[in-house]
Amino acid sequence: MNDRNRELKPFVEAPDDDMIICRCEEITKGEIRRAVHDGMFTLTEIRRYLRTGMGLCQGQTCTKLVKSIVARELGVKPNALGSATGRAPMRPIEMQILAKDKGE
Amino acid sequence: MKHYDMIIVGAGPAGLSAAIEAAKRGMKVVVYDENAKPGGQLFKQIHKFFGSREHYAKIRGFQIGEKLLAEASELGVEVVLDAIVIGIFPEKEVTVKIGEHVTHAKGDTILIATGASENMVTFPGWTLPGVIGAGAAQTMMNLHGVLPGHRVLMLGTGNVGLVVSFQLMQAGCEVVALADAAPRVGGYGVHASKVARCGVPFYLSHTIVSAEGEDHVTGVTIGQVDANWQIIEGSEKHFDVDTICLAVGLSPMSKLCDMAGCDMEDNPAKAGFVPVVDEYGETSVSGIYAAGDVSGIEEASSAMIEGRIAGIAAAVKLGYLSEAEGTAEIEKQKAALGGLRQGMFAPGMRGKQITETEEGIAISQNLLQYGFVSDEEVERFPGVTHSSGIHPVMECTQNIPCNPCQDACKNHCIKIGSHITSLPSVDPEAKCTGCGMCVAACSGQAIFLVREDCGDGTAEITLPYEFLPLPQKGEKGTALSRKGEAVCEAEVVGVRTAKVFDHTNLLTMKVPKEYAMKARFFRKGEPV
Ligand SMILES: Cc1cc2nc3c(=O)[nH]c(=O)nc-3n(C[C@H](O)[C@H](O)[C@H](O)COP(=O)(O)OP(=O)(O)OC[C@H]3O[C@@H](n4cnc5c(N)ncnc54)[C@H](O)[C@@H]3O)c2cc1C
Ligand code: SF4
Ligand code: SF4
């Protein structure tokens, strides 16, 4: 995926581009497709660029959907994409709770 | 910081089973689960499970959960609920959010048994309120006592779609149709048949075109797909519904494994992104194990065995059990696991088209396309025989890992043999007393007792009935066919309820004798 010289077909608008894919962050299919053409080839990059999967459900709903859209845009199989880096906290958590963490 | 021999994330069947085995060997074990109730998926499963006696077959899912929990508690396992494991760090340290606090714990071993999450599909309107996962519908109904809607379309004919459709009807919803983009029903035929005979149509090779509604779902359009998954013009069908349930598969929730630095693989045979594990469930990080759906989507029965294996392996690793003893016990578990992973629905069979049973009998194509075995097809299976007195008719036509019917009959009328996936057959020589134990024990609700000729031009059919209100003796209604179509008038001549039947009621109806092999369900209300 890190082959930045990858030739993509030109971006063509599609009728379902305004369909929301990541509900928590309200990111549409068109935005995800556009991001690939902007050079975001990995799921981690897409996530940093658009915030997909960074909302309340932490990607439980959209991860697979985003993956298949990106894969299709790149012309690869979804399982060739790997996953976005997983980091703590696994679930959304209030800052005040984290602030109280004394490592005990 | 607390310190344990084993930290288990997830109190589902895999996690609890591992805890039991580890604690039995004297290990200090803690289980964290994010829910208020332990049991994982089991706590919303109100249906009787498949498998064999050792795997708790014919016991309802939530009761299996209760049994595991009781056993774990007795052994001194600490089960902490409302506890989300939010991070996993080097040296086997986890952070857990419990209430308003984050606590840290270290384990000499860790088992990740976090299960799976539901997949979604997109279509115009998929974000409307009223489009929900089938698992979510089940949680609403069975845990919280809330009806998800009134008229429901189910997308997906795997076991989850089939089981939840039936449970929606039990809760009082109307299921208008089941649709699936695949050309064949994905789940067990017996689960499909019990839904079909209630009159629910199956639309295979169909998917959702769009959901309609302004601020919530008011309708849905489905359409037939061609070989390239494109909707065939003119094939659209519309239904007025307020709920669309999606049962389109599960994905392993393996993020914690990834975070722990375990080698991962994207494996379609395991339904997603999973840790690479060895035969003991150990990941590439020594002392970190994974078991259950998180390491490949399967069943509760296999999750329990995988959990047990991981628990025993951890005990060996920490020296609580000798290697020889551990190996012997693990071999036993592996043999059981091998037995479960056989038959038409085994993990290795995913995506393969099967045309014959292990016995060499042609599979019912009608079952795969419409959810029920046709009148002609049903006669070729070994569970379907004819005799003058009352006798069992077993409409179980696929090789699935299940055998409680064989144990249920004390008169040896029913035979499966030692190979758990063999089709059940009826021994015409053995004498059936009509006790009904087999009907109630069958997890697939696939056994009927039939007296084909009562001598007065009528026949009597006894069927499993799990709906409320229960029909009363003397009540007249309509007999439905396997397809769920009205075939004739029927009179209820008996309703049996007993503790041993475990909430499966036995309803006996009288119909004209020509319908003895056609009538398979009773519909309450004015006969038609
Ligand atoms: C509708 C339906 C019907 C089914 N019918 C059958 C059947 O008839 N027979 C059969 O054998 N199987 C059946 N299954 C499958 C079975 O329920 C699952 O395979 C099984 O529950 C998997 O067990 P598990 O322990 O791996 O995961 P789960 O049961 O999913 O348990 C995992 C637990 O971990 C918790 N968890 C996850 N992440 C965290 C975290 N970070 N911190 C704390 N807790 C966490 C989860 O909330 C959950 O409670 C059915 C499943 C469904 C959905
Ligand atoms: S009704 Fe009783 S005797 Fe007859 S087959 Fe079933 S379990 Fe056996
Ligand atoms: S007939 Fe026997 S094997 Fe078939 S579903 Fe029923 S109990 Fe299981």
pLDDT in tens, B169-207: 999 999 999 999 999 999 999 999 999 999 999 999 999
- Collapsing DSSP to helix, strand or coil, B142 comes out as helix
Structure confidence by residue, pLDDT tens digits, B39-57: 999 999 999 998 887 778 8
Cα of B177 from ligand 1 centre, angstroms: 26
Strands B93-98 and B83-89: antiparallel
> Residue B114 in contact with residue B32, Cβ under 8 Å?
no
Nearest to A86 by CA among B127, B15, B114, B120: B114
Q: Which residue of A has its CA nearest to B267?
A: A79
B264 touches A: beta carbon within 8 Å: yes
- CB of B105 less than 8 A from some CB of A: no
Contact B122 A79 (CB under 8 A): no
Please give the average per-residue pLDDT across B475-501, as a whole number: 97
- Residue type for A40, please? M
Cβ pair B259:A86 closer than 8 A:
yes
Cα–Cα nearest to A63, from B138, B255, B136, B276: B255
B206, B222 contact by CB (below 8 A): yes
Q: Can the peptide bond before residue A15 be classed as cis, meaning omega within 30 degrees of 0?
A: no
| pLDDT reading at B479 higher than 70 | yes
Strand order in the sheet with B237-239: B206-212, B219-224, B237-239
CA of B496 to the centre of ligand 1 (A): 33
Centre of ligand 1 from the C-alpha of residue B65, in Å: 10
* Domains located in chain B, CATH noted: 2-117+251-340 (3.50.50.60), 120-248 (3.50.50.60), 375-523 (no CATH)
Residues of A in contact with B97 (CB under 8 A): 89, 91, 93, 97
Q: How far is CA A60 from the centre of its chain?
A: 11
Torsion of CA B279, B281, B282, B287, to 10 degrees: -130
Question: Residue B2, Cα to own-chain centre: how many angstroms?
Answer: 37
Task: Kindly tell me if the per-residue pLDDT of B471 is higher than 70.
Answer: yes
Query: In what helix (H) or strand (E) does residue B334 lie, and over which residues does it extend?
Result: helix B323-340
User: Per-residue pLDDT averaged across A11-22, rounded?
Assistant: 95
- By the CB < 8 Å criterion, does B85 face chain A? yes
Residue reference for tokens 């089709």: B423
Provide the shortest C-alpha distance from residue B14 to chain A (in Å). Answer: 20
Question: Which of B86, B101, B120 is closest, CB to CB, to A88?
Answer: B86
CA distance B151 to B241: 5
Q: Choose from A21, A64, A81 for mutation: most chain B CBs within 10 A.
A: A64
Cα angle, residue B434 at apex, residues B489 and B421 outer, rounded to 5°: 100
Asked if B29 and B23 touch (Cβ cutoff 8 Å), the reply is yes
Q: What is the mean pLDDT of residues B217-240?
A: 96
For A15, what's the count of Cα atoms within 13 Å in the CB-facing half-sphere? 2
What 8-state DSSP symbol labels residue B356? B
Measure the CA–CA gap between B63 and B45, rounded to whole angstroms: 9
User: What is the CB neighbour count within 10 angstroms for residue B198?
Assistant: 18
Which chain A residue has its CA at the smallest distance from B124's CA?
A19
Dist. CA B280–CA B75, nearest whole Å = 22
Whether chain A has a CB inside 8 Å of the CB on B35: the answer is no
Q: What is the pLDDT of residue B339?
A: 84
Residue located nearest, by CA, to atom 33 of ligand 1: B10
Give me chain B's average pLDDT, please.
96
Q: What distance in Å separates the CA atoms of residue B439 and residue B404, rounded to the nearest whole number?
A: 10
SS3 for B302? helix
> How many Å apart are CA B282 and CA B279, to the nearest integer?
7
- Substitution target in B120, B228, B246 with the highest count of A β-carbons within 10 Å is B120
Query: What ligand 3 atom has the least distance to the C-alpha of B395?
Result: 1
Mean pLDDT, residues A17-45 taken together: 96
Calpha distance B462→B489 (Å, rounded): 15
- Global pTM reads 0.95
Q: What is residue B56's predicted lDDT score, i.e. its pLDDT?
A: 85
Contacts with A23 from chain B: Cβ below 8 Å: 127
Q: Residue A97: which of B34, B97, B120 has the nearest Cβ? A: B97
Question: Of the CATH numbers 1.10.530, 2.40.128, 1.10.357, 1.10.10, which one belongs to the domain with range A20-99?
Answer: 1.10.10
Q: For residues B495 and B472, what is the distance between their CA atoms, to the nearest angstrom?
A: 7
Q: What is the DSSP letter of A68?
A: H
pLDDT value, residue A1: 65
| Sequential DSSP letters for B57-100 | TTSBHHHHHHHHHHHHHHTT-EEE-SEEEEEEETTTEEEEEETT
If pLDDT is split at 50, 70 and 90, which confidence band does B79 have? very high
CA distance to partner chain B, nearest, from residue A86 (Å): 5
Nearest chain B residue to A19 by CA: give it: B124
Tell me the residue type at B138.
Q
Question: Contact B104/A104, CB-based, under 8 Å?
Answer: yes
Task: Tell me the count of A-B CB pairs closer than 8 A.
Answer: 77
Give the pLDDT of residue A6.
82
The upper half-sphere exposure of residue B286, i.e. CA atoms within 13 Å in the direction of its Cβ, equals 3
Q: Name the residue of B191, B402, B414, B448 to mutate for ligand 3: max ligand atoms within 8 A of Cβ.
A: B402
Structure-block tokens of residue B183: 């050309």
The yes-or-no verdict on residue B313 having pLDDT over 90 is yes
- Banded model confidence at residue B431, pLDDT cuts 50, 70, 90: very high
Beta carbons of B258 and A83 less than 8 Å apart: yes
B101 to A82: CB separation less than 8 angstroms, yes or no: no
Band (B461; pLDDT cuts 50, 70, 90)? very high
Helix or strand run (H / E) with residue B288: strand B288-290
Write the pLDDT tens digit of every residue in B263-308: 999 998 899 999 999 999 999 999 999 999 999 999 999 999 999 9
| Residue B234 clears pLDDT 70, i.e. is over it | yes
Contacts of B100 in chain A (CB under 8 A): 97, 100
Q: What is the pLDDT of residue A2?
A: 66
Ligand 1 in reach of B62 Cβ (< 6 A): no
Does residue B351 surpass a pLDDT of 80? no
Res B528 pLDDT > 90: no
d(CA B359, CA B399): 9
- Contact B86/A at CB under 8 A: yes
Query: Which band of pLDDT confidence, cut at 50, 70 and 90, is reported for residue A75?
Result: very high
B239 touches chain A (CB under 8 A): no
Mean pLDDT of B308-337: 96
Q: What angle do the packed helices A43-50 and A29-37 form, to 10 degrees?
A: 120
The residue ranges of every structural domain in chain A are 20-99
Does ligand 1 lie within 6 Å of residue B65's CB atom? no
**How far is the CA of A54 from the CAs of B118, B119, B283, B376, in angstroms?**
18, 17, 27, 55
Q: Which residues pair with B225 in a beta bridge?
A: B231
Mean pLDDT, to the nearest integer, of B370-378?
98
Q: Give chain A positions within 8 Å (CB) of B256.
A: 86, 90
